[in-house]
Amino acid sequence: MTESTTIRWEQDETGVVTLVLDDPDQSANTMNQAFKDSIAAVADRAEAEKDSIRGIIYTSAKKTFFAGGDLKDMIKVGPENAQQAFDTGTAIKNSLRRIETLGKPVVAAINGAALGGGYEIALASHHRVALDAPGSRIGLPEVTLGLLPAGGGVTRTVRLMGIADALLKVLLQGTQYTPRRALENGLVHEVAATREEMLEKARAFIDANPESQQPWDVKGYRIPGGTPSNPKFAANLPAFPSNLKKQLAGAPMPAPRNILAAAVEGSQVDFETALTIEARYFTELVTGQVAKNMIQAFFFDLQAVNSGASRPKGIEERQVNKVAVLGAGMMGAGIAYSCARAGIEVVLKDVSTEAAAKGKEYSEKLLDKALSRGRTTEAERDELLARITATGDPADLAGCDAVIEAVFEDTALKHKVFQEIQDIIEPDALLCSNTSTLPITVLAEGVERPADFIGLHFFSPVDKMPLVEIIKGERTGDEALARAFDLVRRIKKTPIVVNDSRGFFTSRVIGQFINEGVAMVGEGVEPASVEQAAAQSGYPAKVLSLMDELTLTLPRKIRNETRRAVEETGGTWAGHPSDAVIDRMVDEFERPGRSGGAGFYEYDENGRRTRLWPGLREHFTKSDSDIPFIDMKERMLFSEALDSVRCLEENVLVSVADANIGSIMGIGFPPWTGGVLQYINGYEGGLPGFVARARELAERYGDRFLPPALLVEKAEKGETFHD
Ligand code: NAI
């Protein structure tokens, strides 16, 4: 018999066995080799001592209940060790199944986060009681890492709640529920306020259900809502196929597809066969590139970014107490809300108190909506609003130890608003600008303390967008960078750090995507195909509709400014094939985008997009040779990836993790790629494969696709892009 090293067996005098998950070598319990041995040992002992056992409770001695699979191992699984991974998974599942079918009541007392493997242990229990601990989350988020829950997660959720609910509520979105929301959605049976209450409830279930069984182990069991082989199923089927279609949009996202297949196929066979089907679909995912990309980005890179890999070392954290937000327009209003939500006092200033009050109304609207949906309480709403002071008077900024400026995009105006307040705010206050295009170094020339001046580039809508791009100007000090980083973390956003340059990192790189799409229109490619190529690459926004939203005059303005800057420094301006298309759209056809009522699309009187403008096909005629669809897709992806490498070369980017996370969370680079640089790492044939393909695209479409020296060098040395 193997020994249990990570699960303690604690049996009371009434015969209730508490299995305490407690890996002595790690801060959290994970599905490692020790757990595999321990759960097998526990199952053996439970079978051997069955007569003296009245019931079983799983709980944990750690802060989290169970952390799931070990991603460090999972990212390394390739075809060569897939069988081993499969066998380990099967062994753990068999042990859980033996306990589940022992004939005794089994309860999960979920004392903290139970995500992935943790919730799968809970699913292998007859009853689930969750402790309502702050920050605790329950669910199966595997899909967000390009995987599926193969510890029985698909098989059991389908049998617990029916195919449709299992897919929509748990499997396809990977939603992480708070214990209360988990209760509302049927993921757990009870919620407890304290650990004692949780264990009492677990014991009460055992007392009341001495013969408990899983519903699916009871004779005559049917999957709720039916299965595809049952004629009633179609009638009960809600909207999930259309939901899934929206989510996939043709992008190479194998996880949702495999989850759907495992759920549907598994629903038509017996329980044990369903487990095998689920495992087979998992193996296909875990050995593939997309899961590796997504684990790299959403686990390793995200952790590195948020834990401060790009924050200067050795600078103590200093909390901001009171923030001044200058400009209460769209961005300022959102920034004020995000700060106040994090408990920070905000003084929201505009040209008049009325204008500022309008900005504050934005918070009111968001809060009223949250209130009507039960997401906040009246008291919380009032407290948050009380933290925002709307004013037109600079004197009200006294005591502010940080400023975030969000007035119109105009250097002189930005200089003026900082000058107006610099003697009123705290003498060492952090000075931030939310400019989207103006160089931070130039803006810093307008303040007395350039070392305390930094760019904080938020994305719109601020309350929803998770990313903030921090931009270091030439004279920005480390202290300011550390404080800006801490402020962004305090408002629960993800900070990436870049050096100053035109368009910084995000705006510059997304510009490449848009230019490439527009250039194809100029080459006579069917506009609908351009949009389709963006969607099928996995971009959340189609390229021409995005250009319309941003307004076609904007790239013109940026282009002219950039050209001037390049020529002033003695450089030559190469331009881009999209320039001519934009010029014709604006000057000749007077179609500047959605705000002007006409762009690549047509709009009705309410500003709603109706259809692509038929004039595009008439005025931009088709070239002789057809462009393969794969080229259309890769031109967009490559243009962004290649420019990101140039950002690394130019020291605009300093961290690979920041590049990957910034591209996915800030500018919609397709998540399946793992981000702009991971896309290159994971490209077929690795870096050499990517270089070869870039050269091919350069040959066909122009020198902008030529691989930068850094990329070629790394490919030759056999390296990849990693921090
Ligand atoms: P907006 O036009 O909605 O708001 C600007 C606000 O500044 C107005 O309420 C205006 O009354 C106020 N203002 C003008 N002069 C002022 C003064 N002297 N003192 C105080 N307030 C004054 O503009 P939006 O979209 O909020 O943009 C603000 C800044 O954020 C710009 O620098 C923009 O480039 C940047 N940004 C915009 C993004 C967007 O998606 N709109 C994204 C990221 C950055």
ipTM of model: 0.97
CA 342–ligand 1 middle distance (angstroms): 22
CA 405–ligand 1 middle distance (angstroms): 8
Of all protein residues, the one whose alpha carbon is nearest to atom 29 of ligand 1 is 406
Active-site residue flag, 13? no
- Do the beta carbons of residue 216 and residue 159 sit within 8 Å? yes
CA–CA distance, 667 with 657 (Å, rounded to integer): 15
pLDDT at 554: 87
With a CB cutoff of 8 Å and minimum separation 6, the contacts of 550 are 514, 593
Q: Which two tokens stand for residue 638?
A: 């490559």
Selecting among 100, 120, 405, 531, the annotated active-site residue is 120
- Do the beta carbons of residue 145 and residue 291 sit within 8 Å? yes
**CATH for 7-287, options being 1.10.3210.10, 3.40.50.2000, 3.30.43.10, 3.90.226.10:** 3.90.226.10
Check pocket membership of 673 for ligand 1, CB cut-off 6 A: no
Active-site residue flag, 364? no
CA 506–ligand 1 middle distance (angstroms): 19
How do the domains of the chain map onto residue ranges? 7-287, 322-501, 507-717
Say what the pTM is: 0.91
Check pocket membership of 357 for ligand 1, CB cut-off 6 A: no
Q: Which two tokens stand for residue 5?
A: 């090293």
pLDDT at 235: 56
Check pocket membership of 330 for ligand 1, CB cut-off 6 A: yes
- Do the beta carbons of residue 156 and residue 120 sit within 8 Å? yes
The CATH architecture one would assign to domain 507-717 is: Orthogonal Bundle (1.10)
Residues of the chain with pLDDT under 50: none
Decide the pairing of beta strands 345-349 and 388-391.
parallel
**CATH for 322-501, options being 3.40.50.12160, 3.40.50.720, 3.40.50.2300, 3.90.1560.10:** 3.40.50.720
Q: How many other C-beta atoms can be found within 10 angstroms of the C-beta atom of residue 164? A: 20
CA–CA distance, 204 with 435 (Å, rounded to integer): 59
Check pocket membership of 406 for ligand 1, CB cut-off 6 A: yes
Check pocket membership of 311 for ligand 1, CB cut-off 6 A: no
pLDDT at 374: 86
pLDDT at 129: 98
Which DSSP category does 609 fall into?
A: E
CA–CA distance, 125 with 106 (Å, rounded to integer): 5
